[in-house]
Amino acid sequence: MNHQTPIISKAVIKGCIRVVTGLRIGGPGTGVKIGGVDQPVIADPYGKPYIPGSSLKGKMRSLIEKKERVKFENGKHTCQSPESYKNCPVCKIWGIMGDKVKDAPTLTRIIVRDTFLDENSITEEMHRNLELRWTEIKVENAIDRITGTALSRSLRQLERVPAGARFSPLEIIYTCYEQDDKEIFKKIFEAMELLEHDYLGGMGSRGYGKVKFENLVIYWNRPEDYENGNTNQNKVNGGFNTPAMILQHYEEILNKLS
Ligand SMILES: [Zn+2]
């Protein structure tokens, strides 16, 4: 393989992310209290919360790293030799940090887009109960880890996206450069399934951040589909629209990745 290797195909995964327990992805602290919240969530220029692609991609990577039992150095994993890179689905899919692998092309196969709040998922009833336009405010104690008691003057007002909210459209692009990439494509759905049993954002130890991936559709786009303007026509996952169902039927799906 070299840098002139033609792109074989691209998979486009679409779907939605449902918030099962309040989701808190912290925004940049501006020092300005908005509506009394000192810990806002990340929001788009219209003030609506969103899930940054980098947060989702990073969390998926860290979960699959643990599952694959990769080697860590200074708390990070990055393959450094072409031999280890060749056999490492994590670095092949999620990319390497820095430019560590000598004499080997290192192509990141996954792109995770930002996913925006679906306004219609916030019902009238939810709106009546929310403290802010799209979000709720939760007051949390900071707990002294040694004594287990609440620290004095420790109440924090945390903004979070309420349970029941949906973010869509989720969009993940996966580029296949070689035949083996069709096999390791499966790791993306393993990472999603691991994330459903973990948490997204902060405060997971207090029950925040449970999410579910729903209505997943996988389109398989071949080079000729790009030439003919026929992208996102060839759906390959049938009715299997959750990470678990896709994994259970992965062999069937793999057969359709021509
Ligand atoms: Zn690696």
- The string of pLDDT tens digits covering residues 53-110 is 999 999 999 999 999 999 988 888 988 888 889 999 999 999 987 766 666 667 899 9
- Flag whether 73 is in a domain: no
> What is the Å distance from ligand 1's center to 192 Cα?
19
Sign of dihedral through CA atoms 230, 228, 185, 168? negative
Can you tell me which residue has the tokens 């995964």? 13
Report yes or no on 70 lying in a domain.
no
Separation of CA 70 and ligand 1 centre (Å): 7
- Ligand 1 centroid to Cα of residue 181, in Å, is 15
4 — phi, psi (to 5°)? -90, 0
pLDDT at 1: 46
Q: How far is the CA of 109 from the centre of ligand 1 (A)?
A: 13
Q: Who's near 201: CB < 8 A, 6+ residues apart?
A: 23, 24, 25, 26, 55, 208, 209
Q: Ligand 1 centre and the CA of 221: distance in Å?
A: 27
Using the mean position of ligand 1's atoms as its centre, give its distance from the Cα of residue 214 in Å.
29
Would 44 be classed as within a structural domain?
A: yes
Do the domain assignments include residue 74? no
Q: Would you say residue 102 lies in a domain?
A: no
Give the domain range for residue 129: 9-51+107-255
89 Cα to the center of ligand 1, angstroms = 7
Q: How far is the CA of 187 from the centre of ligand 1 (A)?
A: 13
d(CA 177, CA 18): 31
Q: Is 234 among the domain residues?
A: yes
Both tokens of residue 126?
């939810």
Domain membership flag for residue 59: no
Count the domains in the chain.
1
The whole model's pTM is what? 0.91
The residue among 28 and 195 whose pLDDT is bigger is 195
91 alpha carbon – ligand 1 mean position (Å): 4
pLDDT digits (tens, 9 = 90+) for 150-201: 666 678 889 999 999 999 999 999 999 999 999 999 999 999 999 999 999 9
For residue range 55-71, list pLDDT tens digits in order.
999 999 999 999 999 99
Residue 77 within a domain: no
